[in-house]
Structure 1
Amino acid sequence: MADSLRDQLLKSGIVKQVREEQRAKVPKDARPPQGKGKPRPPQGRRDEEIDLARAYAIRAQAEAAERKRAEQAAAEQARLKRERKARIQKLLEGQVLNKAEADQVRHFEYGGKIRRVHVDAEQLAALNEGRLGIVQQNGRYLVVSQAIAEQVRAIDPQQLALLVDPNEATDDDGVPDDLMW
């Protein structure tokens, strides 16, 4: 069975260390004389309780500091993500080539799932040749030029959903490996 926290602290030496720190704080001349006057009650149990309480306090402070560091790191990551998203949004303004009257579907893998975007015949050929790319922004898949796709890749590679490399090896049917349909 697992040891109690008190036993673990005693084994780790934290309680002993705290006890030594307390002794160092009290000057020798302020300590009660040994062997003279009234007999002192045993202090061992009380010292252990004080040391244990102090050990709990030290542990609580360490945990609080760790939580604070983790929260600060998470806040910093969120801030950086917002900045990248804003930069990509600004970059995409007026650069999206999606067409409402697109009649063909281009399937691609993104995020471990098969996704699709509607394009016309000209855009489909350009996507397959690598002259156009697809960027994911706010849950939508946007068709953009190769230059814009490369800039998005530089800012945040996870937002680039598809950019076919024309020099990529193809399998035996002549279709690049990332072209599913």
Structure 2
Amino acid sequence: MVDSLRDQLLKSGIVKQLKDEKRQQQPAPKPNAAFAGGKPPHKPPHQPKPARSGEIDLAKAYAIRAQTEAQERKRAEQEAAELARIKRERKAKVQQLLEGQALNKADVDQVRHFEYGGKIRRVHVDTHQLADLNAGKLGVVQNAGRYVLVTQAVAEQVREVDPHLVALLVNPAAVGVDEDGIPDDLMW
């Protein structure tokens, strides 16, 4: 069986020799009148020092910090839950507004491009819808990843609920229209 290094040193006597040498180097304690029997007097158990005003011990500081962090996490979770609830309510209201209001047609021959979310998007329209869309009589609303063609009134109602969902609503007063009925801002 293999002995540990400590066991080997104890068996060889080197450790004992080192302890003896240290004892010889230290001066012997002077006899004191208080140690009459050779034993030190009985000391009362250790009492913690009273904390100075303004100081708190480390354990209390960690407990306060943990409690504060827990409160902050709880508050952040509550805020996130509230934002999610508001978003769900808006989505449901927009869905209700768009129900039965979509003017998209399956067999159309033209595409209207527009910028939304930093990218060029498109909606398929017929000739009459294209003219109305460019004149501001129709609008485009994003719903569930699709672009829905709706009347201007519905687009305005959606804008009141959530303005980010209105993908295209031309304001004819703000944009000039050329002879083809295409707004000037679309010339690329």
What TM-score results when the alignment is normalised by the length of structure 2? 0.68
Equivalent residues in 2 for 1:1-181, closer than 5 Å: 38=43, 41=46, 43=48, 51-170=57-176, 175-177=183-185, 179=186
How many pairs align?
142
Specify which structure has the higher proportion of helix.
Answer: 1
Local SS of the residue matching 1:151: helix
Once residues 87 and 139 of structure 1 are traced to their aligned partners in structure 2, the CA distance between those partners, rounded to angstroms, is 16
Once residues 102 and 118 of structure 1 are traced to their aligned partners in structure 2, the CA distance between those partners, rounded to angstroms, is 6
Aligned 8 A contact 1:108 1:180 in 2: no
Superposed displacement of residue 109, structure 1: 0.7
Once residues 58 and 176 of structure 2 are traced to their aligned partners in structure 1, the CA distance between those partners, rounded to angstroms, is 68
CA gap of 1:171–1:97, structure 2 versus 1, over 3 A, is: closer
Amino acid at match of 1:176: D
Local SS of the residue matching 1:96: coil
Once residues 82 and 180 of structure 1 are traced to their aligned partners in structure 2, the CA distance between those partners, rounded to angstroms, is 38
Aligned 8 A contact 2:134 2:183 in 1: no
Aligned 8 A contact 2:136 2:171 in 1: yes
Superposed displacement of residue 172, structure 1: 9.2
Aligned 8 A contact 2:177 2:184 in 1: yes
Amino acid at match of 1:89: Q
Q: Unaligned 5+ residue runs, structure 1?
A: 1-36
Superposed displacement of residue 38, structure 1: 4.0
Aligned 8 A contact 2:104 2:148 in 1: yes
Superposed displacement of residue 43, structure 1: 3.6
Once residues 93 and 77 of structure 1 are traced to their aligned partners in structure 2, the CA distance between those partners, rounded to angstroms, is 24
**Considering only aligned residues, what root-mean-square deviation do their CA atoms show, in Å?**
2.7
Percent identity of equivalent pairs: 66
CA gap of 1:140–1:41, structure 2 versus 1, over 3 A, is: same
Aligned 8 A contact 2:176 2:184 in 1: yes
Q: Unaligned 5+ residue runs, structure 2?
A: 1-41
